[in-house]
Structure 1
Amino acid sequence: MQKIAARSSGGLDQESQLQLYRNSPSDKPTNTDIDKHDIGFLPVDIRGRPLVRKGNTGTWKAASFILATEMAERMTYIGLLSNAVSYLVFRMHLTFPKASDLVTNVAGASNLTPLLGAFVADAYLGRFWTILVFGIIYLVGLVLLVLVAFLPSLAPSSAECSAYQAALGNCEPASEGQLTVLYLALYIIALGTGGITPCVSAFGADQFDEEDPSEMKYMPSYFNAFYFFISVGSLLSLTLVVNVSDSIDYKWGFFIMLVSMFVALVIFLIGTPRYRHRLPSARLSPLTRIAQVTVASARKMRLKAPENEQELYEVFDKESAIVGSRKIVHTSDYRFLDKAAVPTEAEKDQIKENPKLIPSPWRLCTVTQVEEVKALLVMMPIWCTGIVTNMAFIQIINFALQGGTSMNREVAGFDVPVPTLASVATILVAIALPLYNQYFVPFMSRLTGDTRGISLLQRQGVGQLVMTVGLLAAGVLENRRRAQAWALGKQSNPLASLPISGFWNVPIFSLIGLGEVFAMVGQMEFFYDQAPDAMRSVGVAIFTANGGIGAFMGSAIVHIVNKVTPSPGWVAVNINLGHMDYYYFFVAVLNLANFFLFLWFAHRYKYKIVSKSTKREAVLLKALHQENAHDHAHAGPATVGVAPSDSRLY
């Protein structure tokens, strides 16, 4: 291990010595008995001990394993969603609306279960162990799905059922028992995604130290890179997995997905020695802390919140009363919640008698705990507008695939599968994200002064507008496709080939992909960045949850629209007999109205302000002294400790 020589020996100055020490490779764990409340958002090792030396951990060398893990996992998940509708229709013999409904519900569940995974990660296991445990659950669901695809007894017979009859819903449907096994597999997979989705992106961001400017500058690039690898995984899925399923058999497509998820977990484990971790909040879940603020403020509802914020309760002898968190600056929003931090005279006396005592948060909360709740509340209006954005995104992907089945997709004698056309959006995202980082951000930074180019909220707004244009274009294309089907007398057969080119979908998917670059990446970074330190997984889960609710919302809108529109409804089993074009226009209007609502909320939003760590230097110096003492005991006087006075690690 690298020793630190005394300054009097002619070595480096003290600050340089400390920095060199911290950046040196760690060859043994730090032995510390430091109070967890003092650690705050300081990186720790896998056992929860302060990471004194971070030279061989974190940054891109650790994040690269996480990015590769996400790419392989997305290849699995997108492969499932891309194949699911056609598999359910042509192999399990569900109707298109029922199949689309089931896929929408599974996608919705996959976006809601992350709330469970996030609470587990932030309160109990930490992000690393949550990813690992839920990844194994994910594998179990995939194994069950592969069995459904391989075993004839788990699917209805297709011996006398043509693709045409299956599309019309005239084939023998899957039995109740067969559907039970299928549903079990799909929802186990949805549960598995619940621990991975909120934790992977947050765990990758944890590899960059927010209080180290040399690392923090890479944070926006990391989120763009993260979504880039999502796009690469999606592209592999829409080409390899979809083509294998379409050209050979669905079962081999599902098998590739199983292998991909297994590889994802292997890659993730290989990177273990390089990861930095953050402390979970000592079994005090975010939900519990929210309840404590609610109860404490309700108990003191008759008290008046002081005008002077200095009279509110906060701990000053610790980094924070919440493990894994820094202090949050007081804000004037939701002042009624401040009552939870107003100490009574009896509580003031109790604190004076024992300054180190942390009162019961069910009666008295710190300003930071109150501000955690406020931070979530002020994000909620932005989150609500994201529901409609995600609903529009999911709807256009699902239904554009259905319309594309009857369009001409032939290239050089090869019939391009419809899901492969959707890969255009993914390719555009994969191309646009590096260009966004390389050219757009520097150019806009010179104009706006924002290091991100445009703010996180501005980025979301641009994405919403672009998606609205994509919806309008989809409505125009569907109007022309449907008109051709009726003009040629082919309206009774939804699979009948039409002379209109399926490649007209390319501009539409391109617009959707561009909307993703702005809206989805902006949302993901926003909810991670603005979430409290001890709720970062919850922040990402909130982002994914609006996708889940958007999926359920889309399903509900389809049912309502079909009930209030003339039979067979705008979204019909036979797309030629419905009016999907009207539906696209309707969703576009909803999305545009949602955009104007978003503008109003964004204008009123105030970004979170976090206090810089106050105990970080002391914690690192204490851990450093303990290691030096250990070295001195084993190596004699050659190792000289560094005095804590006026020492700085950052």
Structure 2
Amino acid sequence: MDISQEDERDQGQDHDHVIVVAGDQGEGEGEETTRDGSVDWNGRPCLRAKSGGWPAGLLILLNQALATMAVNGVSINLVTFMRVVMQLDNANAAKHVSNWSGTTYVFSIVGAIIADSYWGRYKSCIIFQLIFLAGLVELSISSYFFLHNFSCKSESGDTKTCRTPSAAEIAIFYAAIYKIALGNGAYQPTNTTFGADQFDEEHTREKRSKTAFYGYFFVANNLGSLVAVTFLTYMEDQGSWAAAFVISAAAALLGLLLFAAGTKRFRHFMPCGNPAATVGNVFVAATKKRHLTIPAQVEKLYELDGTHSVNGGKKIAHTPGYRFLDKAAVIEDPSILLPGEQPASRPRRLYTVTQVEQVKCILRLIPIWLCSIIYSTTYSQMSSVFIEQAQAMDNTLNKLTIPAAGIGIFEIIGVTSFVFIYTFCIAKPLSRRSKEPTELQRMGIGLVISTAAMIAAALVERQRLKHAERYRLSVLWQIPQYLLIGASEVFMYVTMTELRQQPDRVAGDGGQPQRGPSRVDTAEPQPGACGQVLLPHRRAQRGRPGPLRAARQEVQGGGEARGGGGGGRRADQVSLLCVYA
């Protein structure tokens, strides 16, 4: 490329216009590419019209609905299966289901780390869906050949004696359900983020579509749950366990095929190393340099020149909290620094201000994660204690028999109703007065409502025990507790999906910048992670030093610096933040 071509390219990047790339032989010339650094299946910058968007998002939504139907077909009535088929008492059945649910959440953390750090989101979604499908197939086969003969004709068991399963048969069953826990648990948070990846936040229309996608994603979850709660639970209540599990496996297979069909349409982002390693390394560096004094001028702390920080993420402004960690960005010996880069000789003793701020953001998120654990403890009662409570109540309505898990449909009604109630009756009027609740306030409201749901469940149980000797309390008394759980989800789970308090990218120490076109520079500060403001983007103006270059000039008397820009992206949803417990 000659000098005139370089000048034309530099001038083109000084304006907030669409970046255009052309193929080696003129193919695709004039076609708009995404601005967030996403790449296609072949590793090339994505063409906006031929990748991502709603065609890709719709496939992910359908996949999510089918996967939710499949996993709920197992989880909703799992406690009943253990009590009726496995011959466990109520306490042990609830304990095993709670352990299984907790393991699913743990696998969510594992899957999110693997996706963000090593495999990437697409590969992680495919692999974990295959594991999920394998678990469902194994459960279907085992329930038919090994466990089918042990199920009683009715829950009372008055016409048939159940035989206790053997140790080998129990082992096969548990292996199957924990494969389901691994596959579905590790895949769910990644799928949410991968769906959001299909919309470019640097594009106004697609940014609005991304916000809408989160709402539709929650709707897809509830549609899948609706089918499972009504249709599959009825089959299981009639003793057709194997058939219900086969339908769940078929739904998972169809969802996987739909997901695979969008392979060449999807937008991809490269994994950027282990975020946990970065957190540990920043703490180690700060500890090793604990004897150093933090400079009064923030500009003297280490940061890359140019638009972006490490791994192509946006820079984050320095904040006063957790001052001890700032020592990881203190420059001990400026002479060893390569222009705009990490020092090659001691890479784990010096980190950028942005990397330090990312660690601070994670520390500030810990209380939110702890609150999500408390909430999930309440939420998990729907699949265990609530169902056992329903089994001890009168589940007949005239001539209609309501499955114990079927009353859970009111949770879905609660979610759907409160989404509209909050959006149009609460948020919209308050937004006109600029008094709309913040994300943390909404999550606090969700915790309060979930507490009210458990109080309602306790009052129902008290009444049930009080009248147990005379008559069975109607299962319809459970409706308030399910409605309240649904309302709490709107404030808690939906808000956590939209949460924007995380760093742009929690990048690994050795991660590489993302491939793709450079971002469009902006002259204005951008809203950043943890409620802070991102450093203003600096264009490569002749004779104007960046903050690090100025620091080196002050100590060394000058020196040429190279910008640290690269193809970056604003990841407004890190997979780990989709882990609710």
- The answer, yes or no, to whether TM exceeds 0.5 is yes
Q: Check conservation: 2:307, 2:314, Cα contact below 8 A.
A: no
User: Residues 297 and 21 of structure 1: is their aligned pair in 2 closer, same or farther, counting only changes over 3 Å?
Assistant: closer
The alignment covers a number of residue pairs equal to 500
**1:331 and 2:319 aligned:** yes
Aligned with 2:457 (options 449, 455, 474): 474
1:78 to 61, 69, 72: 72
Structure 2 equivalent of residue 418 of structure 1: 404
- Give the conservation status (yes or no) of the 8 Å contact 1:407–1:499: yes
1:44 aligns with 2:39: yes
1:98 Cα offset (Å): 1.3
Post-superposition CA distance 1:253-283 (Å, at most 9, x none): 11111011111111212223332222210xx
What SS does the corresponding residue of 1:474 show, helix, strand or coil?
helix
- What letter corresponds to residue 44 of structure 1 in structure 2? V
Q: TM-score, normalised by structure 2?
A: 0.79
Counterpart for residue 269 of structure 1: 260
SS in 1 for 2:473: strand
Partner of 2:576: none
Letter in 2 for 1:268: F
How many Å apart are 1:193 and its aligned residue? 2.0
Q: After the TM superposition, which residues 439-588 of structure 1 pair with which residues of structure 2 at under 5 Å, given as runs?
A: 440-448=426-434, 453-486=436-469, 488=470, 498-526=471-499, 529-535=500-506
Residue 93 (str. 1) matches residue 87 (str. 2): yes
Matches within 5 A, 1:92-111: 92-111=86-105
Amino acid at match of 2:92: K
174, 181, 187: which one pairs with 1:190?
Answer: 181
Does residue 200 in structure 1 map to residue 191 in structure 2?
yes
Give the match's secondary structure for 1:534. coil
CA contact (8 A) 2:75 2:383 kept: no
2:59/2:258 contact within 8 Å kept:
yes
* 1:607 counterpart residue number: 531
Shift of 1:87: 0.8
- Runs of 5+ in structure 2 lacking a partner? 1-11, 509-528, 541-581
Using the TM superposition, give the Cα deviation of residue 42 of structure 1 relative to its aligned residue in structure 2, in angstroms: 2.4
> Partners of 2:504 and 2:193 in 1: how far apart?
11
Alpha-carbon distance, 1:201 to partner: 1.0
Change (3 A) 1:367 1:325: same
Check conservation: 1:375, 1:608, Cα contact below 8 A.
no
1:572-619 Cα offsets, whole Å, 9 max, x none, are xxxxxxxxxxxxxxxxxxxxxxxxxxxxxxxxx952544577799xxx
The answer to whether residue 155 in structure 2 is matched with residue 163 in structure 1 is: yes
CA apart distance, 1:236:
1.0
Root-mean-square deviation (Å): 3.2
Shift of 1:217: 3.3
Question: 1 CA distance for matches of 2:536 and 2:193?
Answer: 20
CA-CA distance at 1:320 after TM superposition: 2.3
Instruction: Give the corresponding residue for 1:432.
Output: 418
Say whether residues 1:240 and 2:231 are aligned partners.
yes
Q: Would the aligned equivalents of 1:22 and 1:54 in 2 still touch at CA under 8 Å? A: no
Given that 1:221 and 1:437 are in contact with CA atoms closer than 8 Å, whether structure 2 keeps it comes out as no
Q: Aligned in 2, Cα 1:117/1:324: closer, same or farther, shift over 3 Å? A: farther
The verdict on how the C-alpha distance between 1:383 and 1:332 changes in structure 2, with shifts beyond 3 A counting, is same
Is the 1:111–1:194 contact (alpha carbons within 8 Å) kept by the matching residues of 2?
yes
The alpha-carbon deviation at position 60 of structure 1 amounts to 3.0
Structure 1 match to 2:201? 210
The whole-number CA distance in structure 1 between the counterparts of 2:425 and 2:539 is: 39
Distance 2:155 2:194 in 1: 45
Alignment partner of 1:163: what SS? coil
Larger helix proportion, structure 1 or 2? 1
The residue that corresponds to 1:298 in the other structure is 287
Going from structure 1 to structure 2, the CA distance change for 1:268 and 1:435 (only over 3 Å counts) comes to farther
Preserved contact between residue 41 and residue 324 of structure 1 (Cα < 8 Å): no
Q: Does 1:403 align with 2:389?
A: yes
Normalising by structure 1, what TM-score? 0.71
2:120 is the alignment partner of 1:147: no
Identity of counterpart residues, as a percentage? 30
State the 1:366 CA deviation. 1.1
Give the 3-state SS of the residue equivalent to 2:416 in structure 1: helix
